[in-house]
Amino acid sequence: MIKEIFLATNNAHKHKEFQLALPHIRVRCPSELGLAFNPCEDGNSFLENALIKARTLYQLVHTPVIADDSGLCVKALDGAPGIHSARYSGLQATNANGDNKNIVCLLENMKDKTQREAFFVACIVLYLEEDRFMVIQEKCLGEITEVSSGISGFGYDPIFYLPTLKKTMAELSETEKNEISHRGKALKILKPLLDSIET
């Protein structure tokens, strides 16, 4: 059973979600070891980018790692922002300012669109060693709102509306979000895998 694992991210929000979902495992970030971690995410899919991050971190720590690549896909925008979700406005979303700029950019591009369907995607790679890894990809269906609502979560959560709950992702509690979100669904599949694997 894996007791400790490194998460290939500098995103404190993602780290918190992973640690909450995996309370029996110590989830560590590269920054804890003072490692410079800024891989070039030049893949053409969520899977390719997740693998880039996983391999990059594994080469630094030589121990099992988890990598996540996720984003928002909007039907009216031909699947954009997709893999470019964190950089949609041209500014890397490493903080609330970056998130807000991406939201403003997306809402501007959706101004005259009547089709509002969208979905979040999360691709998680559990990388145990070279040539030994597992992939889980999940999604969460919703719609794009016309204005932001809610203060929880991060990224596009304030404009991602969940018709079944009648709330945006940013209006959910952490527990509610982890139950229905793209990342939450993937983590539910990942947890028993981590419990059963021998390294």
Residues known to be catalytic? 69
Yes or no: say if 112 and 94 are a contact pair by the CB < 8 Å rule: no
Query: Is the alpha carbon torsion for 86, 162, 13, 10 positive or negative?
Result: negative
CB-count burial class (<10 Å; 0-12, 13-18, 19+) for 88: buried
Q: How far is CA 51 from the centre of its chain?
A: 14
Per the CB < 8 A criterion, the answer to whether 42 and 52 are in contact is yes
CA 161 to chain centre: 17
